[in-house]
Chains A and B, each alone.
Chain A
Amino acid sequence: MLLSARGIGKHYGPVEVLRDVSLSVRAGEIRALCGENGAGKSTLVKIITGNQPADSGEITIDGVVATIRSPADAQKLGIALVSQELSLAPNLSVLDNIWLGNETVPLWHRRRALAERARAALDEVGLEGLRLDRQVGTLGIGRQQLVEVARMLTRDARILILDEPTATLSDVEIAHVFEALRRLRARGHAIIYITHRLGEVFEVCDSVSVLRNGALVGDAATGAIDRAGLISAMLGRELGELYPPPRAAPADGRPALSVRALAVPDMVHGIDFSARAGSLTCLAGQIGSGVTEALRALCGLNEAATGEFTIGGRRVPLRSVGRARAAGVRFISENRAGEGIFLRLTIAENLLCGQLRRFSRGGLLRRRAMRTIAGELAAAVAVRPARLDVVAADLSGGNQQKLAFGRIIDGAMPGVLLMNEPTRGVDVGARAEIYRLVRRFCDEGWCVVMASSDLEEVMGLADEVITLYRGRVVRQVGRAAVTMHGLLADITQQQAA
């Protein structure tokens, strides 16, 4: 075994995120690492790459116990990670990027001296035609990833860990990456390949390890397992308890929202769908499928969106947040720190931030009324009203997300609620609470549209599912007709086994 991790355990506070996990990979093997969001994949990778210490267990390289305390240690042992967030400087050339951060490069050097090895590494990953002076920012994501792999090769990496490299790639690019991986395997590299796309597991990997809730639940050669087996290993438990029971769709379920030919350059290519009031519609798709972009466009957050968007028959202008809001559209972002919550403002301020118009008379605010309403809103989303003056940064992720829900309630008629991955980074307990909130909005007559790449959540929650692939709608199906296999097949466009 080139790399072998045994009995790895890890706690974050009281939460056990990894429990006695073992993972090994041989030279010349590509091992898939699968699991749902939150199954512990990224924590395991962080431990192997020295970004986090393990609480228990040991890692051996070539049978020798290795201590990996820092990313530098991992680098010296020949372990390299290509994460989804690339570590390339977009303004520099391919050559400079390959040698960036490499401590063996002499302080003074001529670039030409380094060109030869860089060239060899690029050839090895299948980028024979790429010029060394090409600026990295002008390359597509796929080739950027390969440049990063080439960088790892120049650092003598023998164990490559690729974290969902194909999530944002086109078919041609994916083919390129696969070809490079096979070539690296043939040269005796060990590769750990993290992916959500089950088709890829069977296409390119030799073996697969499955994590669920922090434990290893499957370890098999890809020849010894089939797709259905892999899916049930990943999910394991029944959907249910977490999700509130769906309500029978209202008989008069009038279409509240309809979208025609919605397009965002390069991301969404003319999608049509409709959603009913009082029901929850999920837009399901992988990263890069256009789900997020479509949702943001409907909120007015994309300045290049075109198409027709109507609510209750009234046309809503695109490309303006203000006018979308006036038409009753509300948005909850997945990126809480970035654009969801005002971390440095108080709970009260966060709850009221989108509805100041209600409290203003000729531009002046009625502070007393604001105070009262803030208290009511806090109570409505189960945040303790006594904490109104606490800054949002002091709250947990789940409670922050509840604030985002609270600010939706603004006395307006039930409108359209758009949510992008509302439970990302939220622990299981708070998830259940958020799902109940979502359902309550539906019951009050809101038309809720949610974008999600978490298929379990989609299955558990949605009244209707619209699947997207590469910026186009694949299918719109009702709850009764939704199956995990069908969803997977739709969003990955690969035949279910």
Chain B
Amino acid sequence: MMALCRNAFARDLRPYTLLGIVIVIVGVIDHGTGFFFRGATLFSIMQIFATYGLVSLAVGLSLLVREFDISVAGMVSLAGAVAVLAGARDPWLGVGLALLVGLVGGAAQGLIITRLGLGSVGVTLGGLLSFQGLTYVLTGNQSISFDHVELALALNAPIGVVLSVRSMIVIAAFVLAAVVMQFSRVGRDILATGGDRRASTMAGVNTGGIVFGVFAASGLLCALSGVVLSYGLAAASPAALSDVLAPAAAGAIIGGVSVVGGRGRPAGIAAGVLVLCVLRSGLNAAGASADMLDIATGLVLLLIAVLDAPELARRLTEWRLHRRGA
């Protein structure tokens, strides 16, 4: 029994365990009205998932190689703006251009980080502000609307009760990431790079290329997220900076990605994001305010930051011996 519990909370299974717990709790709060299990609720959960999933995946990828891409929020809004502006005539042109911007922006950051040997936080901070600034300039600091409302409707129309084109795109991206991580050399090299970069380089892995590629992929994922979001809302706006980064990081971290690198899977990240989505929709249903979700997210992030901290064990030994007075 104990072993079962321990296994359930081991890093690889943790996101799924948490997801199960959250679903049960929300089900209980529900007082058996069955609200939670209605199609509409599941649909809304998947819609929220579609909003945050890709950004979480992007942040998670960067954490896997022991870096931290904090520019994600900026790229989401930049790509959204580009897509809406360039897609006014031809939506596909908007998609293509936005994805290109994401790829180039991410790759540029990756290049700076690997070539100049700089810390990713500093570089992506610059990226965040630059992308965000570019968005403000492009949109003229106001929300711009997208004329293809029919596209927005199509993106959000329920498919098979729970899904929509929007959420299916996000799920497809997760599946693709999972396949790459599981079945390709690149996936294994990403994990190795995050686990021990020096050792991986010595073993013959092109770690610089891996880090570069991860940032490019992160940019692309954020751009895709921005496109899907802005087309789905039929609008783009220079959104506030921080409201995306926190839930995105939380999703990845709850999903079992370690901030010290080399651990985590796309499927886990998906589960981690779903935990937050279920919580949000459950709290809504229970009539609790959105603040409670923030507080819960913050606490979980803090808890995991401490659990993952490299000197936690050292301090615990110290305190234990101190208490014993040895």
A89–B204 touching, CB < 8 Å: no
Q: Across the two chains, which residue of chain A brings its CB closest to B199?
A: A87
- A378 at the A/B interface (Cβ < 8 Å)? no
- Give Cα A195 to B195, complex, Å: 29
| Bitwise interface map of B from 159 to 193 toward A, beta carbon under 8 Å scored 1, else 0 | 00000000000000000000000011110110110
A88–B183 touching, CB < 8 Å: no
Q: Which residues on A sit within 8 Å (CB–CB) of B322? A: 319
A100–B317 touching, CB < 8 Å: no
- A226 at the A/B interface (Cβ < 8 Å)? no
A319–B321 touching, CB < 8 Å: yes
Within 8 Å by CB of A100, from B184, B204, B315, B318, lies B204
- A145 at the A/B interface (Cβ < 8 Å)? no
Asked, given contacts A100-B205, A304-B317, A304-B321, whether A89 binds B196 with beta carbons under 8 Å apart, the answer is yes
Asked, given contacts A109-B183, A109-B185, whether A101 binds B195 with beta carbons under 8 Å apart, the answer is no
Q: Which residues on A sit within 8 Å (CB–CB) of B201? A: 87
Nearest CB of chain B from residue A49's CB, rounded to whole Å: 11
A107–B321 touching, CB < 8 Å: no
B195–A319 touching, CB < 8 Å: no
Nearest CB of chain A from residue B67's CB, rounded to whole Å: 16
Within 8 Å by CB of A91, from B186, B204, B263, B317, lies B263
A89–B321 touching, CB < 8 Å: no
Residues A99-118 near B (CB distance < 8 A): 99-103, 105-110
- A96 at the A/B interface (Cβ < 8 Å)? yes
Q: Which residues on A sit within 8 Å (CB–CB) of B326? A: 306
Asked, given contacts A89-B195, A92-B192, whether A101 binds B203 with beta carbons under 8 Å apart, the answer is yes
Q: Which residues on A sit within 8 Å (CB–CB) of B189? A: 100-101
- A85 at the A/B interface (Cβ < 8 Å)? yes
A89–B314 touching, CB < 8 Å: no
A96–B188 touching, CB < 8 Å: yes
B314–A303 touching, CB < 8 Å: yes
Q: Which residues on B sit within 8 Å (CB–CB) of A90? A: 195-196, 199, 262
- Give Cα A106 to B186, complex, Å: 10
- Give Cα A83 to B202, complex, Å: 10
B185–A107 touching, CB < 8 Å: yes
- Give Cα A71 to B206, complex, Å: 13
Asked, given contacts A105-B185, A106-B185, A306-B326, whether A87 binds B200 with beta carbons under 8 Å apart, the answer is yes
- B194 at the A/B interface (Cβ < 8 Å)? yes
Nearest CB of chain A from residue B186's CB, rounded to whole Å: 7
| Bitwise interface map of A from 44 to 87 toward B, beta carbon under 8 Å scored 1, else 0 | 00000000000000000000000000011001000000010111
Asked, given contacts A100-B203, A101-B205, A303-B317, whether A107 binds B184 with beta carbons under 8 Å apart, the answer is yes
Q: Across the two chains, which residue of chain B brings its CB closest to A101?
A: B204
B184–A108 touching, CB < 8 Å: yes
Q: Which residues on A sit within 8 Å (CB–CB) of B199? A: 85-90
Interface size for A (C-beta < 8 A) is 30
Q: Across the two chains, which residue of chain A brings its CB closest to B261?
A: A91
Nearest CB of chain A from residue B230's CB, rounded to whole Å: 33
Which applies to chain A's interface (DSSP): helix, strand, loop or mixed? Answer: loop
Asked, given contacts A100-B204, A101-B203, A107-B184, whether A319 binds B318 with beta carbons under 8 Å apart, the answer is yes
- Give Cα A86 to B185, complex, Å: 21
Q: Which residues on A sit within 8 Å (CB–CB) of B196? A: 88-91
- Give Cα A102 to B185, complex, Å: 9
Q: Which residues on B sit within 8 Å (CB–CB) of A107? A: 184-186
Residues B276-326 near A (CB distance < 8 A): 314-315, 317-318, 321-322, 326
A87–B183 touching, CB < 8 Å: no
Q: Across the two chains, which residue of chain B brings its CB closest to A307?
A: B326
Asked, given contacts A303-B317, A319-B318, whether A85 binds B185 with beta carbons under 8 Å apart, the answer is no
Q: Across the two chains, which residue of chain A brings its CB closest to B196?
A: A89
Nearest CB of chain A from residue B214's CB, rounded to whole Å: 16
| Bitwise interface map of B from 2 to 21 toward A, beta carbon under 8 Å scored 1, else 0 | 00000000000000000000
B183–A91 touching, CB < 8 Å: no
- Give Cα A26 to B280, complex, Å: 69
Q: Which residues on B sit within 8 Å (CB–CB) of A72? A: 204
Residues A309-326 near B (CB distance < 8 A): 319
Q: Across the two chains, which residue of chain B brings its CB closest to A100?
A: B203
B204–A103 touching, CB < 8 Å: yes
Q: Across the two chains, which residue of chain A brings its CB closest to B324?
A: A306
- Give Cα A89 to B210, complex, Å: 15
- Give Cα A90 to B261, complex, Å: 11
- Give Cα A75 to B202, complex, Å: 12
Nearest CB of chain A from residue B286's CB, rounded to whole Å: 39
Q: Which residues on B sit within 8 Å (CB–CB) of A89? A: 191-192, 195-196, 199-200, 203, 262
Nearest CB of chain B from residue A453's CB, rounded to whole Å: 23
A92–B317 touching, CB < 8 Å: no
- Give Cα A418 to B102, complex, Å: 55
Nearest CB of chain B from residue A70's CB, rounded to whole Å: 11
Q: Which residues on B sit within 8 Å (CB–CB) of A102? A: 204
Nearest CB of chain B from residue A126's CB, rounded to whole Å: 21
- Give Cα A354 to B100, complex, Å: 54
Q: Which residues on B sit within 8 Å (CB–CB) of A75? A: 204
Nearest CB of chain B from residue A361's CB, rounded to whole Å: 31
Q: Which residues on B sit within 8 Å (CB–CB) of A106? A: 185
Q: Which residues on B sit within 8 Å (CB–CB) of A110? A: 183
Nearest CB of chain A from residue B319's CB, rounded to whole Å: 9
- Give Cα A87 to B197, complex, Å: 9
| Bitwise interface map of A from 249 to 286 toward B, beta carbon under 8 Å scored 1, else 0 | 00000000000000000000000000000000000000
Q: Which residues on A sit within 8 Å (CB–CB) of B186? A: 107
Q: Across the two chains, which residue of chain A brings its CB closest to B188?
A: A96
- Give Cα A302 to B75, complex, Å: 45
A87–B188 touching, CB < 8 Å: no
| Bitwise interface map of A from 291 to 311 toward B, beta carbon under 8 Å scored 1, else 0 | 000000000000110100000
- Give Cα A120 to B198, complex, Å: 27
| Bitwise interface map of B from 242 to 272 toward A, beta carbon under 8 Å scored 1, else 0 | 0000000000000000000011000000000
Nearest CB of chain A from residue B182's CB, rounded to whole Å: 9
| Bitwise interface map of A from 125 to 152 toward B, beta carbon under 8 Å scored 1, else 0 | 0000000000000000000000000010
Nearest CB of chain A from residue B269's CB, rounded to whole Å: 17
Nearest CB of chain B from residue A19's CB, rounded to whole Å: 28
What are 21 A-B contacts with C-beta separation under 8 Å?
A71-B204, A87-B200, A88-B199, A89-B191, A89-B203, A89-B262, A90-B196, A91-B192, A96-B191, A99-B188, A101-B203, A103-B204, A105-B185, A106-B185, A107-B184, A108-B184, A109-B185, A303-B314, A303-B315, A306-B326, A319-B318
Query: A-contacting residues of B (Cβ < 8 Å)?
Result: 183-186, 188-189, 191-192, 194-196, 198-205, 262-263, 314-315, 317-318, 321-322, 326
Extra 18 A-B pairs, beta carbons < 8 Å, given A100-B192, A303-B318:
A71-B204, A72-B204, A83-B202, A85-B198, A85-B199, A85-B202, A89-B196, A89-B200, A90-B199, A91-B191, A92-B195, A92-B262, A96-B188, A103-B204, A108-B183, A110-B183, A303-B314, A319-B318
Sorted nearest first, the 10 A-B pairs with minimum C-beta distance are A101-B204, A87-B202, A91-B195, A101-B203, A89-B192, A89-B195, A91-B262, A87-B203, A303-B318, A87-B199
